[in-house]
Amino acid sequence: MSSTTSSAAATVGGPLAGRRAVVSGAASGIGAAAVASFLAAGAEVVGLFHTTPPPDGLKEACDWVSCDVRVRGSVDTAFEQATSILGGLDVLLHAAGSWRPGTPESLSDDELDLVLDTNLRSTVLTNQAAFARMRHSGGQIINLGSAEGVRGNPLAPHYAVAKAGVHAWTRSVAAAWGRHGVTVNALAPAVSTPGAERLWEHLGPERAAAFQERLRTTMPLRGELGDPDTDLGPVMVFLAGTGAQFMTGQLIAVDGGLQMLGA
């Protein structure tokens, strides 16, 4: 059992005390790590989930609302319910997304639509819903980008395109919404997630082992994928707190130095 699902009690006080947060894709992976980290930092949290049910370790720790983040009506309804529960909204962490393999020459319309909708369209819809509730009081939006959206990926070109779109969207709305006191930043993590597991499965045992060996030689810190809770969780808490109030439009790599974005 991961640390995400083993302990998720809310902390009285803490760096996010009094902050009201919505986390999408909250039932697994980075989203579940965000819920646990935000609760431990003192925030009030509503988790959004779709096909994956909330894990046992988080099910009773906060409120949960069903949402298909690809559909505007579902997003609007979910945010209305979530902000009613919370009494407002200060933070959105949009973690919903999906990695799928594909090749540039054989990518079908259905494959393209699924990945673009799940990763890029969902970012637009959830960000719009959050901004509608933050525009008069300010807030912080954190999106999930990817180094694949910077360097490309021939094994998942549609995912790379979608994440590049998330980066461009993040910069665009950061410029537009800053005057309302709303910050918008994106993370490019390299941590163990269900998407990483799908990559290993797609590669097969031999190619996956070779990929992991390359990580050991090219990633300056540790040489392996990070942990969503202990490596990424503190960064998500920082971006949701007052320490990041003068940061916006940034793509921040949390990946052991694998992709040095400022270089």
Sign of the alpha-carbon dihedral angle for 209, 211, 216, 217: positive
Determine the Cα–Cα distance for residues 110 and 93; give it in Å rounded to an integer.
27
159 is known as an active-site residue: yes
The single residue listed with the structure tokens 């003068």 is 246
Catalytic residue among 159, 173, 186, 231: 159
CB of 93 within 8 A of CB of 102? no
Please provide the DSSP assignment of 154-220 as one string.
TT-HHHHHHHHHHHHHHHHHHHHHGGGTEEEEEEEE-B--HHHHHHHHHHHHHHHHHHHHHHHHH-S
CA pair distance 16, 4, nearest whole angstrom: 18
- 235: exposed, middle or buried (Cβ count in 10 Å: 0-12, 13-18, 19+): middle
From CA 177, how far away is CA 69, in angstroms rounded?
21
Pairing mode, if any, of strands 44-49 and 182-189? unpaired
How many Å apart are CA 259 and CA 6, to the nearest integer?
31
CA distance 21 to 218: 35
User: Hey, which residues are catalytic here?
Assistant: 159
